[in-house]
Amino acid sequence: SWAVHLLTASGAAFALLATLSVFDSDWTAAFAWLGAALFVDGIDGPLARRFAVEERVPWFDGAILDLVIDYATYVFIPALILARADIMPPLLAVPAAVAVAIVGAIYFADTRMKTADYGFRGFPAVWNAVVFVLVVFGPPPVIGAALIALFLVLTFTPVEFIHPFRVRKARPLTMAVTFAWGVFALLSVVWHLDPPPIVLIGLAITSAYLASIGAFLQAARRAAR
């Protein structure tokens, strides 16, 4: 049980290393460390359930530990990158980063964020993925600002987003797409965030699927009623 908790806590080390990389404007290293934290976050939950850590160490709340680290790696550090990287209009960079940090904190405290099938209600504050995609694709700053605004608004809507490991509907396909996204993201980091077109195409397709499949399943469920 303590090994699982230490694995979760290792995300704090990755968050610190990512922050130091941001201060050096080393975006490749920053996203590499955030990627390591994302990998840990993807496996520590299943391990915690597998070994029933809540029953073995009932006085230690791993969920709180996980939320603290998730806020740092999913929201705060991506907001810091948003403020310092040239992906936003200069006058909007810091205000957008502040908005992301505040809205992300509000979302993490919303007890209604989870749906009945363990998906997410509203954009689930995965700003690490959004900012990563913006850095890799490097769209015009006005497009980057529009996308940030869109996801800020989606945070407060009833639109659903999928949890790739816990939502049962279309889970095999979603897990396969998630794995593919991870491969394309890793290749993008290996190519110092300037990957060849084939990687960009794969990253675009998998990103679009993961961003929209939750809303698609939600609409299909309502149409079937």
Identity of the amino acid at 165: F
| Percent of the chain's residues with pLDDT above 90 | 74
Residues 150-205: pLDDT tens digits? 999 999 999 999 998 888 899 999 999 999 999 999 999 999 999 999 999 999 99
State both tokens at 1: 């049980």
Q: Tell me the whole-structure pTM to 2 decimals.
A: 0.93
State both tokens at 155: 């945070």
pLDDT at 196: 98
DSSP letter string, 101-140 = HHHHHHHHT-TT-B-TTS-EES----HHHHHHHHHHH---
Question: What's the rounded Cα separation, in Å, for the pair 201 and 197?
Answer: 6
Quick check: helix, strand or coil at residue 142? helix
Q: Are 113 and 124 in contact (CB under 8 A)?
A: yes
Least confident of 22-31, 46-55, 115-124, 162-171: 46-55
> Looking at residue 194, what DSSP letter applies?
-
Angle between helices 2-23 and 77-84 (to 10 degrees): 10
